[in-house]
A = this chain, B = another copy of it.
């Protein structure tokens, strides 16, 4: 088994944190995005979408998409449960994982990919107006998240889950396009500090 990893990029970090929470060690193969190694012919054979992380299993099967890789390990080793246990828990984790991925991580990524000089050759075409439009989406969703976290310890309720991993990575990723944390979001700050203190956060 081998996990094709992408260093500091947010999606590879999501999977590394997930594995750290599970206590699972997987051999990593570094893919240097700055050197466009994810665009090579060899890597494209593994993942035609040319993205990391990508998991290669011992029988040659390939799984890409961060959350698909996480689900593989959740099924192989269910404890600790990071996708919920009961039907309602599973649905709540999925709902908040998706909200945090689309409304926050996706919006932060859109600002970065469409406005940052580093991405000129990787995001074609860069549409600056689309990047700028996502700044308001980030701020709006963080306000909604703050109201939610006023009544909930973690993103999906009482237990730490994969939704918190996506949220943590998204908030930390805001630094790259220099997105400010809006003032007064005390519940987001409390939650972010708590999940950042977990040993997995350094993965």
Residues of A within 8 A of B (CB): 48-49, 57, 61, 63-65, 67-69, 71-72, 75-76, 86-88, 90-92, 94-95, 98-99, 103, 125, 127, 129-130, 133, 144, 147
Known contacts A67-B94, A72-B91, A125-B129; 19 additional CB pairs below 8 A are A49-B103, A49-B144, A63-B88, A65-B94, A65-B99, A68-B94, A68-B95, A71-B94, A72-B87, A72-B90, A75-B86, A75-B87, A75-B90, A76-B87, A127-B129, A127-B130, A129-B129, A129-B130, A130-B130
Task: Report B-chain residues with C-beta under 8 Å of the C-beta of A90.
Answer: 71-72, 75
In Å, the complex CA distance between A86 and B63 comes to: 14
Contact pick for A63, options B57, B63, B64, B92, CB 8 Å: B92
Q: Which of B88, B95, B127 interacts with A64 by CB under 8 Å? A: B95
Residues of B with C-beta under 8 A to A92: 63, 68
Whole-angstrom CA separation of A98 from B97 in the bound complex: 13
Residues of B within 8 A of A99 (CB): 49, 65
Contact B91 A71 (CB under 8 A): yes
When A and B form their complex, which 7 residue pairs have the shortest distance between CB atoms, in order from nearest?
A75-B87, A72-B91, A68-B94, A130-B130, A68-B95, A63-B91, A65-B98
Chain B residues near A129 (CB-CB < 8 A): 125, 127, 129-130
* In the bound complex, CA of A201 to CA of B15 (Å): 35
Give chain B residues whose Cβ lies under 8 Å from the Cβ of A91.
63, 68-69, 71-72, 75
A sample of 9 inter-chain contacts (CB < 8 A) reads A48-B147, A61-B88, A63-B91, A63-B92, A71-B94, A72-B90, A76-B87, A127-B129, A129-B129
